Chains A and B, each alone.
Chain A
Amino acid sequence: MKLAKTVVLNGIAVAVLMVSFGLTGCSTTAGVEASGKTGWDDQGARILEKKVVFNNSGLKGDIEIVDVKSAMAGDIMRAQATLRSRDKDTLPFQYRFDWYDANGFEINSGGGAWKPLILNGREAKTIQGVAPDPRAKEFLLKIREPD
């Protein structure tokens, strides 16, 4: 009887370990996306069409994209996003900017690197990206949990 109890307890411990491995082992790397596209209004002034997409409902509760803007430095497009943490704890994220030309082709396709971003509890922070060359007219900001 005693042996059986030990076996059951061990079994439970193993099962709990396995479940926790399973949970942490393959977290999703999908995240939030914000995009901005350069356009021109009737007067010829530059406007930015913005869009925010949440691909991960879990992340939606953690992070909020407060603002997305863009400007030019000479002929190079720059982008800035303001993020706010909705969590009271310090959370790590990763982000990257992908750039597209006027025809929607990605510039340096697949060449971007993820950058770490640490948001303290309820903190708002801005992140910036600079286009690799003057062809860029559109950007896509991706934010995800660390891989």
Chain B
Amino acid sequence: MKNGMKFLLAAAAIGALSLSGCASTIQYGDAGSAKPLSTEFGSSDLQQIAESMVDSMITFPPMVELTTGRRPVVSVDKVKNKTMQHIDTESVTDSIRARLIKSGKFRFIDRTTDAQTIDEIKTQQDSGLVDKNSAVKFGQQIGAEFLLTSNFSEIKQKVGGTTDVYYKFTMSLKNLKTGILEWSDEKEIRKVFKRGTFGG
């Protein structure tokens, strides 16, 4: 009887295990998932910042006016990363730039590929391979009218088992001719981690 009971319990436990699926698995996740895994800067934070900045910029009334009938040329400055983390901030500005280009409101110049551009134009001009009529000449690129600058900061507080991290991403659009900031906005994100009673 005793043994029979034990067997039943073991069977019930195994059944429950297989139902709740505790085996190791690997699968594709949702790239747009907003599930935070730690208080560190994550993919969802990047997406939230990019979306919020672009939404704010393309709906700001003076920007709507500015982009009616023309697509101003913008250059993106490196993000000033004042957080304690190593973050690929270029990835943040890349997302913002891609969204702004896709909105059809702005055009961008990319200074990070200048070396390759110069190489290519030199080859076209000097190698003798390219028809002179179609070869691209130096000094014909369009100068940026605006500069997109950004600051990224973090305030971290840790008390007992609780870690509270506050992120602030500030972005501005500067008119290069007049020096005036035509648009600016910030996105705040707060992440709180509470250590559970049983470790983890």
Interface residues, chain A, with chain B CB atoms under 8 Å away: 3-4, 7-8, 10-11, 14-15, 18-19, 21-22, 25-26, 73-74, 76, 78, 94, 96, 108, 110-116, 128-130, 132-134, 146-147
Contacts and interface: CB of A to CB of B under 8 A. Distances in A.
Contacts of A74: 58-59, 64, 67-68
B48 interface: yes
A15 B13 contact: yes
18 contacts: A4-B5, A14-B9, A15-B13, A18-B13, A18-B17, A21-B22, A22-B19, A25-B20, A74-B59, A76-B64, A113-B51, A114-B32, A114-B33, A114-B34, A116-B34, A132-B99, A146-B35, A147-B30
Interface of B: 2, 5-6, 9, 12-13, 16-17, 19-22, 30-36, 44, 47-48, 51, 54-55, 58-59, 61, 64, 67-68, 99, 102-104
Contact of B103 (A18, A110, A132): A132
A78 B55 CA distance: 9
A133 B68 CA distance: 13
Determine chain A's interface SS by DSSP, over half rule: mixed
Contacts, number: 94
Contacts of A128: 55
Contacts of A21: 16, 20, 22
Which 8 A-B pairs have CB atoms at the shortest separation, nearest pair first? Answer: A18-B16, A11-B9, A113-B47, A113-B32, A130-B55, A74-B64, A114-B34, A73-B59
B171 to A, nearest CB: 15
A128 B58 CA distance: 14
A14 B13 contact: yes
Contacts of A73: 58-59, 61, 64
Given A21-B20, A94-B34, A146-B35, A8 B5 contact: yes
A133 B103 contact: yes
Nearest to A11: B9
Given A14-B16, A22-B16, A130-B55, A8 B9 contact: yes
A7 B9 contact: yes
Contact of B2 (A4, A22, A110, A116): A4
Given A18-B13, A74-B68, A133 B5 contact: no
B16 A114 contact: no
Contacts of B104: 133-134
Interface centre among B47, B51, B67 (most CB of A within 10 A): B51
Contacts of B22: 21
A27 to B, nearest CB: 12
A12 to B, nearest CB: 9
A129 B58 CA distance: 12
A129 B30 CA distance: 20
A113 B58 contact: no
A21 B52 CA distance: 36
Contact of B34 (A8, A76, A115): A115
A18 to B, nearest CB: 3
A10 B47 CA distance: 46
The winner among A113, A133, A134 for most chain B CB atoms within 10 A is A113
